[in-house]
Structure 1
Amino acid sequence: MLIRDSASTSAPGINPLQVALATAASELRIARRTVRTWVFAVLAIGVGLAIYHGWSFQHSQMGLVAPPRFALPGFGILVLWILVAGIVFMAFDIPGRDARERVAEALDSRPPSNIALLGGRLVAVALAAWLPLVVLAVVLQVGGLVIEHLDARFGVPPEPVSLATFMFVDAPAALLFWGALVVLLAAVLRNRLVVALLALGLLAVHVWAVLMTPLYLLPIVSGIANLGLPGSEILPRTVSVADVVHRLSVLVLAAGCLATAAATLPRRDGASRAPGLGAGVALLILGAAGIGGLAWYVEAERAERVAWANAHETALDAPRADVERLSGTIDVNPGGELEIDVVLDLRTPESAFDELQFSLNPAMAVHAVRLDGTDVTFHHDLGILAVTPPADLAPGVSARLSIRASGIPDPRFGYLDSSVWAMDETLMEMPIVLQGDVASIYEPNFVALTPAVAWLPMPGANFAIDDPSRRPPDFHDVDLLVRIPDGWHAAGPGRVQADDGVRFRPGVPLAQFPLIAAPFERLALTMGDIEYELLIHPDHLAGVGYFSEAERQEPTLQYLERGLQLRLGLALSYPHAVFSVVEVPGQLRRYGGGRIMDTIQALPGVQMLPEHGFPTRRFAAEPPFEGMPDEMWLQQQLFSAEGGPHGVPAAAGRSRNMGPYLTSASGDGAIATNYLFESLTASLGYGRRTVAPAHWLQIGLAPGLSPPVKVLNRLMGTATFSFGWYQFFGMSLEDRSAEFSFTGIDATATTEGVDILIHKGNLIALAVQGLMQRTKTADFLALMRERHGGGTFTVDEFIAAMSETDPAIAPYIGHFMREDTLPGFQVSDVRAFRVPDDDGKPRYQVAVHVRNNESAPGVAGLMVRETRPDGLGAIYHQAPFVQMPGNTSREFGVFTSAPPADVRLETYLSQNARVMRLAIPRVDPERIVPEEPFFGFRPSTWLPPPLGIVVDDLDSGYAYVSPPERGFRLGLVEEDDDAEMPEYNYAVPAPGWHRQGDPLTLSWGKYRRTLTRIVAGTGEGSATFTAELPSEGAWRLYYHLPGASASAGHHWRVGGWNPGDDFGTYNLEIVAGDLRIPVAYDARMGVPGWNDIGTFELPTGPVSVTVSDATDGQVIVADAVRWQIVNDPDR
């Protein structure tokens, strides 16, 4: 027998490339016949179609989510992870397959090199995993185009640039790398089970790393361009230079893995192992160095932004010039640079100064600076332009400074004082990046220059722009000529006609000047003396066309006429001739800085319209609700068209152009005062005031999502603000808010401070609106503009103007702006009865006594709801709000045309905390009480009657035991016995005791009305009320219930929906000394209020009432118990 020398080289004439191609072709045939190939291909395509079309369906439901075409990187990585798992099972036996299939000797007869053999098989496996992506992409793109043409609901075509980027740049590199890594593991470990487990473990680590890595590092870790960022059709996202370098580095790593695997393969191919192993290690080092260099680069970019922020925070307190007028020319050169040549007429700082400091974007190169016509020395570093003035320039004098600069503004320079930088967050943390990730845009086909990036010179530091207590705004006149390309439109405040460009000359002083320009499609509508224009991308006109069709045009115009009014008397008129609604790309940042980071939809003279909302909605694909008339459906669609991404209305912030952009508070309490000022402005109908700070943005459309669903929602770019789910702030925060006065809140320190500010501000604004009503509120705002327009005001000046407008409100506004004490309201039982008819129409009187039992002044109002005669909807009656001085009582009255269905007392900012739902007595419609009905309020001498001994769920005599948690637990979190009881949220059901304090349920409390509740259990949970009886004898026990169910009388029950609130038998136990008395009470027979449990002979001393969670109903409520001695003459 001839023995071949194992050290001999490969047979002559064999081309390694031909071998690799032949091997790849053979491996593809094997993959085609392998079941697991088809399993993962079908799984990837099926999951991809289900997710994509599922999100398309959600988008068609009133536009609640953005179209999935904008989330292709997140969608792609989900499918890619499935295919990578498939690669593990297709490649884990490649090195040892020849021996197992007994073809090794055949291969050795004409030995191909290991690198060619493994390389061909790797390419085949990667291609087999990539082809399902091709199929999925073709189905989505072609099917989406057909579906879009047919106006069907399921499906929209993917954004082609993002799709091509993923298909041809991201996915191939990832598949080749993972395939090579699995081949290397198989060559080294030589055990298929170990290889599969280790590879899948590495994939799990990769998934975890992708979800937990900050966004600025995510492209390096994930290998997917623009993952987690909002997509765009106006400015499609593609690969950056860093992405290209990364993919090349990944391919080098893959080559290193392959070379190392070839060198460590037991099979000898005639080549020396050392050179191959050295080449493999060198390639691995080179690839790792490339990725490490990218990490260093992005860290350096982040460090640069930190350096800017530190420099500007340091410069915040430096003397600042007061700019009185800004004029000059702006040249927008798409594909080139921005050029500015501006003149600042200013007044020098009032205090001594060595230099004049201005903020100017660090990417702008300053070419010349002249002061009063003379060249002066300057330096521009870290975004601070420092001008050295002549020695004889005195403080507080007028001067003229001219600056000429050019460049492309760096968007990272915006909002340097942000408490959270969006790119520092991981995918599973605050998803605020979905509100935009760049503060400015300067691209060949779109320019958005926001004031935040200081693209124009701004006096002082570019820091604390949203905090007027630290940096009051600098209002000044503006006169700028902007030259833009032919065919472009520009938006900004005060636009007027000009022959050589677009001129912006606002008629009022402004502190900010934004500029947005692009080749928009322009539509205009003139109403009164204001021109409303819509500047929208030419490819996004479908929604406009839908509402412009003949059958919808007239009602649409009527709707717009009602909604676009920006005038309430000459004193509060819109200050510009043109109101521009401008579509902006998804990547333009639409939230501010500081701690609040509130959503910014509007800028001076400009209302931003995010492309993920109205512009890309497919209204024609949204079928009407069953049975809904066409007119009502149109109204519903018009209303939903106002909704923007994440539930923020498209017109949010429009009211800022009527007041907050024209004047501002300054000094202590300025943030709080500005918040109230803007809320009152919005209340006049200039656009809904939607507060949406960054920390309220939550992943998904609802709270309480499971981790997998949360991951899916985040990768698909779905988020919503919590105000869509929570009617009130948490009880713990309401308790904390009582510790601060409104202007004493530090909203810059913590997010809790922000929430307290918003909580108190909303309640004070509602109280002021209720007391002053619309006319006086408008008079007050007009007075503020007249006195302080173009300047700032203090808290005292704000209070003085409101008190001057309505002297009656002075005690209230003065107290709640400055003090932290709160009123506390108690109410009598509701009286409801029928009174004599009005011309044959029945009338019912509802009356209740209300007492402010504290010394602090307050405000109260009564609301009564009656059901419409046709049963559809309700009619609301509101008694006028009235001030309630301390320790006084009033009687409120409302009359209705039907028996009351719901009675609530609103006290806004008080110790009662929330709306109080009151128990309604049964009304006999046949019995007419001969009383004259009254509406409004009148003086009263009512005092709360003695009730006996009451123990409430908020008292120290209340205690509870929750059932032990069951099921798998990680054991990383210990139980906290001192933790507060969690608050009940119907949207997030959970076991154990929860405290409920919203008007959904009628409950008891001296001031604050709450109850506790637990789902039916087995007796392991309980609540106990303990009291001290002063004497022995017969004591009657009362148990407070909302009625026969936890939501008795609420519209949920009327609508037929049972939220799991049905009562059953309550198992009570009374313990007094050695006495134990079990009591079974049928709560299905409960009435709203105090329910008589029975009379018991009890000794002096402590007595407890325990209610068990064991019941045949759905829920147990523990609200309050009341003991009353039977022979008490005062009972």
Structure 2
Amino acid sequence: MLESITRIKHIAFSEIRTFRRLTRFWVAIVVLSFACVVPYIFSAFSYIFLAPYSQSMGATTPFYLLSYIDPTYFLFFQLVILFLLFDSQHRLVRSRLQESLDSKPPKTFEYLMGRVLGISFLLWMFIAGILILMYLVGLVSIISGLEFSDVFQIHSLINLLIIDVPVMLVFWASWTVLLSTVLRSRVIVLIVGLSTILVWFYLTQQLPFSLHGLVTPSSNDTLFVSDVLPQFVSFTTVCVRLATLTFACGLILLASSLSGRTETEKNVTKYSFSCGFLLLGGLVFVLAVVSTLARHNLVSTWQLAHEKSSWDHELDILAVAGKIEIDPGKELVADLTYEFQVMDSTLSDELTFSLNAGLTVEHVALNGVNVNHTFNDGLLLITLLEPLKVMEKQSLQVVYRGKPHPRFAYLDAVYDYEHDRLIPPNTVKFFGTQGTVFEAGYIALMPGAYWYPQPGSIQNRAKPLAVERDLFQVNLDVTLKARNWKLITTSDTDEISPGKYKVMSNIDIPEIGILASNFESVSTDIAGMTFEIVTHKRHGRNLRLFDSFGDSRREALEELIQQELLNGLTLPNRSLSFVEIPRQLRTVGGGWRMPSTQSLPGLILMKEHGFPRANVRRNFTRIDDEFNDDFTESQRARYEISSLIAFFDNFSVGTDSLKTNLVYQSWKHFMSARGENAALIDNVIQHLIGSLSPSGFYMFSVHSATRIAPQLSIHVDTASKRPGQRAIGNWILNDVVKNERNFQNRIRNIVLYEKISLGNTPSNYGNRFDVEHLMYKSSEIATGLRILHDNTVLTEWIAEMQEDFRGRTYTFEELQQHAEQHEVLIAPFLTEWIESGNAPGYITSDATTVRIADDENNQPRYQTSVHLCNEEPTSGVVAFRQVYTTGMWNWGNPIIVVLGDSCVQVNMITEDELSELWMIPYYSMNQLQVQIDVHTNSEDFSQLQPGPTTEDTSWSPELHEGIIVDNLDSGFSIPNQRVSKNSLRKLGPSFWFSNLLGNELDLFKNMIVVDLSQNLWSEQPNKHWYLLRTPWWYRAEYQYNPYGKYEKNHVQARANSTRDRARFSVDIPEPGVWNLEYHWPWGPDQTNDLFGDATWELKVYIQSDGSLFETKVDMRTLTSGWVNLGTFELAAGETVVEVSPEVINRTKFRGRIYADAIRWLRDSTE
């Protein structure tokens, strides 16, 4: 045995010497070095230029880098192994070493094993050298204080070097050796080897995160690299690695048995051993698969049990009191007493509560009497001895113990991002996976993990908008056995003695959360509110920033918190703690809305890779680098605090958004609407609070965040740019934030043109659409309220409601009463805009400007009048933007409400004559600002006094003749077009250079929307029809005037590259001769630029009652507006006009085909 091992060792070192002499080996080393060093450099740049300015970018620094290794990097090494070993057998024959081997003692197995171990050890030494060098660079950076990089997290380094890389190298070397031994032909070896590598790589890209651990070569891929809760490999990974090594041994034995060499040991024996190893490896791998599936099937079992529960009664929890004992990592013991009352109808059979399935219920008593109970799959069923009457107070005691299961959380979530194969692992890790953390190093008892009993089963309700939150008092005695730890809860927490805490709420709250670890903190009182930052003691460096918190910084902090974060409001809880959490903890909630859980009553959770580990001091030292001594002390203090606030908010996405979490603190956690549209009303008020901020605001949506999160990666354009600096490309952090905030506009076309009401929630479009619809409509309602009212009025209105509704539920009628007291007009925003699917739609006349009587100071005055009609039954709000001949401009004056199906004359009084006038439509069918032509009336109106802002008018929009079908109408479609969406899982280095937003935007009528006005899409498709929405300047610059009743845009496609036809369908009321007209959107100069001397004949097909007509038109001859395409005999009923993307006499110039609108006119000569 020892001799065999010695021979294998000698062969391995001999192979190492051989490979080191090969030129291809050094070529491979250069390529691999580039592949390893470049992401590290980008990550170091991110550590310098991005992480200090954004808490969302902290995970891209070197400390977490080994968690973000894409399978592509392992693919590089697998290809190198194939590149070095594919001709190994051929080289033996060519150098006549095969004859020498046949005459020498080494057995075939020993030689093949030595070759595998030799190349594997050689490449492992290279990888280890590169990683250790990078680690030393980070170590030097930290020790020297230069802070140009960071070290790898040590557990992730061990996982990669000791467990992952050796197994990967040995397996693929064994596979290649088997192929080269059996197949002999180098070309076939390359083909088969490359095919198997690519098939494996395809599997790593196709499996969701929940199954990713079965195929990924990196255990860090499914682990959460953490400094607070470091992780070694999981049981599944251990099984997979053992199975892989066993497979490798079986492959080497199989290769030796098929090598053809004559040895004393029979090939049958080696073949049997190889089959045994392969079978054993298969069994171990099956064990890994079974354990993985069992873990996920357990969650499915819980979900099914709760979905089957028919208990549907309303309980009002009044108070929760009792004792809790926490032994970190071991056991939770709780004795809780609930005061509650039944709200809907008398209960006569049983009570149902949900409790974490990892716990064990020991005792249940109702009104002091022990009662029977069952507890299975997280459902606690309590048998009633007598009926519980409505509105009578009851008392329920529950005693339980155990360790909460981290997976028993958010069982009612309608979207499972862990099971979505399009979602890359890094995105999953951005949100976390564990609903609760109960480890020896950290405790996070989250409400969504049901660590305390909560009424009812965990399932979504039939009317999600009517769901309200229950609020109750909390009075708990908590014992924490880790006495050097600190306890943080969602209520006021006082430490009575080491390890013993009194937890009481000074205001009713809807949920209870408990966090505990080896924390340290710093706090300050500002404007009657207490602000505290709590981090793990390993990450206390940034807390030192507040040690020298002088008066200037305190004044700046108070001013900026009031202005930029609280918007003049106060926090109902009067205190707020920012608490560090490990990366494993899930920050996405459940239900149909799946909100951010990074905010709890009185708490905002900070991910470990954000503020706790960020080099925030670099944010402050930038002042010295850029401004030298130009700042006064107060200016410097303001800049420092402003930079700190920007770190938390301006460049944060997903659940990290500070404004979203603060809005929850201002409203959601301490009051709740009740009634039919409870969730909607709360959502609107929260949007309104957020929109009062001077900077942008958006609400978190897991659906948009999963599409945006992949952009939080190292990238060539962001690597060396601070937030706010422009890069060569458009992929910078500002754009990532902008992309997420604009993402809700994806669904606005469907909402507006298909007239979908929020009252139809849930809709047939699915949960993602419903959530985005809620966000979009809430944002539009909040914007309408804010535009129509002064911010001071809205702030006073909200502040009074905060005080009145604090700690209780409220009705829409109560909100309406407060609005009337503050003269806040909530109609049509909280009435028609919610109830109706119709949006307002405006048509304007040209504007006329006249000089009227001078004012009392003899200063000239001008009155500009324009007629405005709302053609839809829903009321709306509009504003105007005025540009004067002097170059000055005025925005938002006047702002008026236009009733549904009405017309008004709007009069604007200005000191200067207008040169331009724009209508800003807000929520309406007019999605873009409308430019109004301004004409000056030179007649004498010097005696005319200013008219009212609005007055009645007899003007009405011009009626268009014929039957018109626009590209936005229901009669237009691209029936056969199918647009494939890019996968969100980019391949390795392609991540560095790609724009990841791509065509993940939703489609409208099977078309991508190219929205140049909001930059929601930067590339125009080559093989599909797409809707082009342009900004106002585009029309003037390019002589562009498409048709549109409310919004002017068109549909286009690249000629001869698109197969599908654009279809206009219309019902012809009566048979006869009809003229077909086609609307051309371009002026003559632009038409000439588009086609030049090329011959472009557009083909149009007309179908009517089985008859098919074809007509052609030379697009060079088209003029802007309606163009006659011919006269046709049509039958009554449906008539279809199809515009073909194929053109006649195609030239090398590849232009576009346009589908704007068609019009049928009855032939007047008939």
Q: Indicate whether the TM-score tops 0.5.
A: yes
| Pair 1:963–1:922, CA change in 2 (3 A) | farther
Tell me which residue corresponds to 1:848.
Answer: 866
In the alignment, the residues of structure 1 paired with residue 586 and residue 674 of structure 2 have an alpha-carbon distance, to the nearest angstrom, of 26
Alpha-carbon distance in 2 for matches of 1:209, 1:1106: 40
Shift of residue 645, structure 1, vs aligned partner: 4.5
Q: Is 1:456 aligned to 2:452, yes or no?
A: yes
CA distance in 2, matches of 1:1016, 1:391: 75
> Would you say how many aligned residue pairs link Structure 1 and Structure 2?
1068
AA aligned opposite 2:1046: R
Q: Are 2:583 and 1:586 equivalent residues in the alignment?
A: yes
Aligned letter for 2:507?
A: V
Counterpart of 1:369 in structure 2 is: 364
Equivalent residue runs for 1:414-433 within 5 Å: 414-426=409-421, 428=423, 431-433=427-429
Structure 1 residue 305: Cα displacement? 0.7
- Which residue does 2:280 correspond to in 1? 286
Is the 8 Å Cα contact of residues 256 and 279 (structure 1) preserved in structure 2?
Answer: yes
Normalising by structure 2, we get a TM-score of 0.79
Quote the residue 2:607 is aligned against: 610
Aligned to 1:557: 557
1:83 Cα deviation from its structure 2 partner: 0.8
Preserved contact between residue 467 and residue 678 of structure 2 (Cα < 8 Å): no
Alpha-carbon separation, structure 1, partners of 2:1057 and 2:102: 75
Deviation, structure 1 residue 1113: 12
- Provide the residue aligned with 2:1048 in structure 1: 1010
Q: Deviations over 1:786-828 (max 9, x none)?
A: 7765454566666676567658544663333323344321112
Deviation at 1:26, TM superposition (A): 0.5
Using structure 1 for the length normalisation, give the TM-score.
0.81
* Stretch of structure 1 that moved more, 124-133 or 181-190: 181-190
Matched, 1:937 2:961: no
Instruction: Write the letter of the residue equivalent to 2:1018.
Output: A
Instruction: Classify 1:752/1:561 alpha carbon distance in 2 versus 1 (closer, same or farther; 3 Å).
Output: closer
Shift of 1:745: 5.1
Deviates more, 1:34-43 or 1:284-293: 34-43
Counterpart CA distance in 1 for 2:1128 and 2:14 is: 94
- What whole-Å deviation, never above 9, does each CA across 1:1032-1080 have from its counterpart, x for those lacking one? 9x9999966699989xxxxxxxxxxxxxx99999999999999999686
Question: Aligned match of 1:676 in 666, 673, 684?
Answer: 684
Query: What's the offset of the Cα at 1:497?
Result: 2.9
Classify the secondary structure of the residue corresponding to 2:502.
Answer: strand
Q: For the structure 1 residues 220 and 1023, does the alpha-carbon distance in structure 2 shift closer, same or farther, using more than 3 Å as the test?
A: closer
Aligned to 1:38: 26
Change (3 A) 1:558 1:1007: farther
SS in 2 for 1:437: coil
Aligned to 2:60: 67
Q: Which amino acid is the alignment partner of residue 45 of structure 2?
A: F
In the other structure, the counterpart of 2:1026 is: 994
Q: Which amino acid aligns with 2:683?
A: Y
Which position in structure 2 is the counterpart of 1:205? 199
Whole-angstrom distance in 2 between the partners of 1:40 and 1:508: 65
Indicate yes or no: 2:415 matched with 1:400: no
Consecutive unaligned residues of structure 2, counting only runs of 5 or more, are 718-729, 984-1002, 1012-1016, 1036-1040, 1101-1108, 1131-1136
> Closer, same or farther in 2 for the Cα pair 1:666/1:700, shift >3 Å?
closer
User: Which amino acid counterpart does residue 5 of structure 2 have in structure 1?
Assistant: L
- Residues of 1 paired with 2:657 and 2:885: CA distance? 30
2: CA distance, partners of 1:181 / 1:847: 81
Identity %: 21
Larger CA deviation: 555-564 vs 667-676: 555-564
Partner of 2:998: none
Counterpart of 2:700, as a letter, is A
Distance in structure 2 (CA, Å) of the matches to 1:1043 and 1:547: 66
Q: 1:138 to 1:97 in 2, by over 3 A?
A: same
Give the counterpart letter for 1:354 in structure 2: D
- The C-alpha deviation readout for 1:686-728, integer Å capped at 9, x for no partner, is 99752232222355679999x999xxx99x9x98795345473
Deviation digits for residues 431-487 of structure 1 (CA, Å, limit 9, x no counterpart): 455311111112222221110001112122233399765764332111123334344
| Deviation by residue 1:559-618 (Cα, 9 ceiling, x = unmatched) | 64335765857xxx4232321112222222111212332333311111122234444444
Is 1:475–2:468 an aligned residue pair? no
After TM superposition, the structure 1 = structure 2 runs for residues 787-806 of structure 1, keeping only pairs within 5 Å, are 790-793=807-810, 802=819, 806=823
Q: 2:1008 aligns with which of 982, 996, 1004?
A: 982
Give the C-alpha shift of residue 987 in structure 1: 1.6
Q: In the alignment, what sits opposite 2:767? A: 750
Q: Deviations over 1:905-944 (max 9, x none)?
A: 2241x333x13331455999x9999698979932141524
Which deviates further from its counterpart, 394-403 or 411-420? 394-403
Matches within 5 A, 1:629-778: 635=642, 638-642=645-649, 643-646=651-654, 649-666=657-674, 668-685=676-693, 689-699=697-707, 722-724=739-741, 726=743, 728-730=745-747, 732-735=749-752, 738-742=755-759, 746=763, 749-774=766-791, 777-778=794-795
Q: What is the CA–CA distance in structure 2 between the aligned matches of 1:699 and 1:151, rounded to whole Å?
A: 37
Mark the CA change 1:398 to 1:779 in structure 2 (over 3 Å): closer, same or farther.
Answer: same
Cα offset, 1:161, TM superposition: 1.8
Q: Give the SS at the match of 2:221.
A: coil
Distance 1:855 1:1064, change over 3 A: farther
Separation in 2, partners of 1:987, 1:215: 30
- Kindly indicate whether the alpha-carbon contact (under 8 Å) linking 1:363 and 1:409 is maintained by their aligned counterparts in 2: yes
1:454, 1:812 → 2: CA distance? 37
Q: Secondary structure at the match of 2:69?
A: helix
Q: Which range is displaced more, 670-679 or 779-788?
A: 779-788
Residue deviations 1:928-979 (CA, integer Å, cap 9, x gap):
9969897993214152453765967437899899999999x99xxxxxx996
Residue 506 in 1 paired to residue 486 in 2?
A: no
Read off the aligned partner of 1:79 and give its amino acid letter: Y
Which residue of structure 1 lines up, in the alignment, with residue 338 of structure 2? 344
Determine the structure 2 residue equivalent to 1:492: 489
Deviates more, 1:350-359 or 1:410-419: 350-359
Q: Work out which of the residue numbers 231, 235, 247 in structure 1 matches 2:229.
A: 235
Secondary structure of the residue aligned to 2:660 is: coil
- Give yes or no for contact 1:1065–1:1081 (8 Å, CA) kept in 2: no
1:828 corresponds in structure 2 to 845
Equivalence map 1:378-393=2 (5 Å): 378-391=373-386
Unaligned runs of 5+ in 1: 1-12, 971-976, 1047-1060, 1084-1090
The verdict on how the C-alpha distance between 1:388 and 1:550 changes in structure 2, with shifts beyond 3 A counting, is closer
Deviation at 1:533, TM superposition (A): 0.8
State the secondary structure of the residue aligned to 2:404: coil
Which amino acid is 2:664 matched to?
A: R
State the Cα distance separating 1:253 from its structure 2 match.
1.7
Q: Cα RMSD (Å) of the superposition?
A: 5.3
Counterpart CA distance in 1 for 2:32 and 2:317 is: 60
| Structure 1 residue 139: Cα displacement | 3.0
Kept in 2: contact 1:366–1:405 (CA 8 A) = yes
For residue 905 of structure 1, what is the aligned residue in structure 2? 920
Code of the aligned partner of 1:815? E
Alpha carbons of structure 1 residues 249 and 961: separation in structure 2 relative to 1, 3 Å? closer
- Cα distance 1:527–1:789, how it changes in 2: closer, same or farther (>3 A)? closer
Separation (CA, whole Å) in 2 of partners of 1:736 and 1:966: 21
Contact 1:94 / 1:121 at 8 angstroms: preserved in 2?
A: no
Deviation at 1:256, TM superposition (A): 1.8
**CA apart distance, 1:847:** 5.0
Give 1:254 shift.
1.5
Greater displacement, 812-821 / 391-400? 391-400
- Equivalent residues of 1:1044, 1:1063 under 8 A apart: no
- Per-residue CA deviation, residues 276-305 of structure 1 (Å, 9 max, x unaligned), is 222221111111111101111111111111
Q: Is the 8 A contact 2:257 2:268 kept in 1?
A: yes
Deviations 1:852-897 (A, max 9, x none): 233433322223468998x9xx874443342435323140537487
Query: Which residue of structure 2 aligns with residue 528 of structure 1?
Result: 527
Letter of the 1:446 partner, please give it: Y
Pair 1:111–1:1124, CA change in 2 (3 A): closer
Alpha-carbon deviation of 1:764? 2.2
Shift of 1:334: 2.5
Give per-residue Cα distances to partners, 1:639-690, cap 9 Å, x unaligned.
Answer: 3542324585233132223322233344544433332233234345599752
Match for 2:751: what amino acid? E
